[in-house]
């Protein structure tokens, strides 16, 4: 039986590549986005259904799921890929921007999972793949709100991995490292919501932003993340986390295989904080 997967955030980048990858592997794909682009289905018109879905709108989520079931007969897996971020000083980050990040990255994911679970259960079980981030393991400066949202995804995914196993539904968490193709400054955020940098933070902000630009790790390739998502969706074991990228692997090592002091020292060094402290003396 050909399996069907619904993927959020397919308008560009990782979501679009993931939709095409699953279609290439013989899956039926419900490729969703807020503003549907029918061209995504051109390469595999029999396997890809492009559907409107706003993770903040439960009615649109249910409509996309029902459209996929009507087209392909059922739902076997979901990939929660939609997400936004923002580089900012927390003190100056607008409350509306903080809420928007959480509404998309956390509550949007919650909406999709709650809508999909009854359909997966009727299918006899299935898989939920949540796309997290390396900052779900190790928080980064200038990414406080994004880090908080992805650490919420970390906790949600682990808890659900136990809870939903009772319904024969597996939960997977893919944790990509930094991808150079990602616009980390205002991905998905309106320009009007960009946080101004307070003058008291300006030297620190400029230094840390340059440290992000001069990131000490090779970029995580989008295709590697796509392949990890596919592996997560098809893995029959009890594995939860799939880390992708040299930075995430190092952050995970520091977090889980060293002492708290060693972790903090390593993160200070890798994020540029050690250099900042030396300059500020």
146 is catalytic: yes
Task: Report pTM.
Answer: 0.93
- The reply to whether 121 falls in a domain is yes
- The reply to whether 20 falls in a domain is yes
- pLDDT tens per residue across span 236-255: 999 999 999 999 999 999 99
* CATH code, domain carrying 69: 3.40.50.720
| C-alpha–C-alpha distance, residues 281 and 261, integer Å | 21
- The reply to whether 210 falls in a domain is no
- The reply to whether 262 falls in a domain is no
For 53, the domain range is 4-195+219-248
pLDDT at position 11 over 70: yes
Number of domains in the chain: 1
pLDDT at position 151 over 80: yes
- The sign of the dihedral angle between the CA atoms of 160, 53, 222, 69 is positive
Which pLDDT score, from 0 to 100, does residue 191 have?
Answer: 41
pLDDT at position 2 over 70: yes
DSSP-derived secondary structure for 191-259: GGGPPP--GGGHHHHHHHHHHHHT-SSPPPPHHHHHHHHHHHHH--S---EEEESHHHHHHHHHHHHS-
Q: Which of 44, 146, 204, 242 is catalytic?
A: 146
């Amino acid at each position: 039986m050909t399996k069907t997967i619904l993927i959020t955030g397919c308008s560009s980048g990782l979501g679009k590549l993931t939709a095409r990858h699953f279609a290439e592997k013989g899956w039926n794909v419900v490729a969703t986005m807020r503003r549907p682009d029918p061209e995504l289905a051109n390469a595999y018109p029999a396997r890809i259904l492009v559907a409107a879905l706003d993770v903040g709108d439960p009615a649109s989520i249910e409509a996309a799921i029902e459209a996929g079931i009507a087209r392909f007969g059922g739902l076997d897996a979901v990939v929660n890929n939609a997400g936004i971020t923002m580089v900012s000083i927390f003190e100056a980050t607008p409350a509306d921007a903080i809420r928007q990040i959480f509404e998309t990255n956390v509550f949007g994911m919650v909406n999709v999972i709650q809508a999909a679970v009854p359909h997966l259960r009727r299918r006899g079980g299935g898989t939920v793949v949540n796309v997290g981030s390396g900052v779900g393991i190790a928080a980064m400066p200038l990414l406080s709100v994004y880090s908080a949202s992805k650490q919420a995804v970390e906790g949600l995914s682990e808890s659900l991995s136990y809870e939903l196993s009772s319904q024969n539904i597996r939960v997977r968490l893919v944790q990509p490292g930094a991808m150079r193709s990602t616009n980390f400054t205002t991905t998905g955020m309106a320009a009007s919501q960009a946080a101004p940098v307070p003058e008291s933070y300006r030297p620190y902000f400029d230094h840390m932003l340059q440290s992000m630009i001069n990131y000490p790790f090779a970029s995580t390739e989008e295709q590697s993340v796509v392949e990890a998502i596919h592996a997560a969706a098809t893995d029959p074991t009890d594995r939860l986390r799939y880390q992708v990228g040299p930075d995430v692997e190092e952050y995970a090592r520091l977090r889980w295989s060293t002492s708290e002091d060693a972790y903090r020292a390593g993160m200070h060094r890798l994020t540029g904080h050690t250099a900042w402290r030396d300059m500020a003396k």
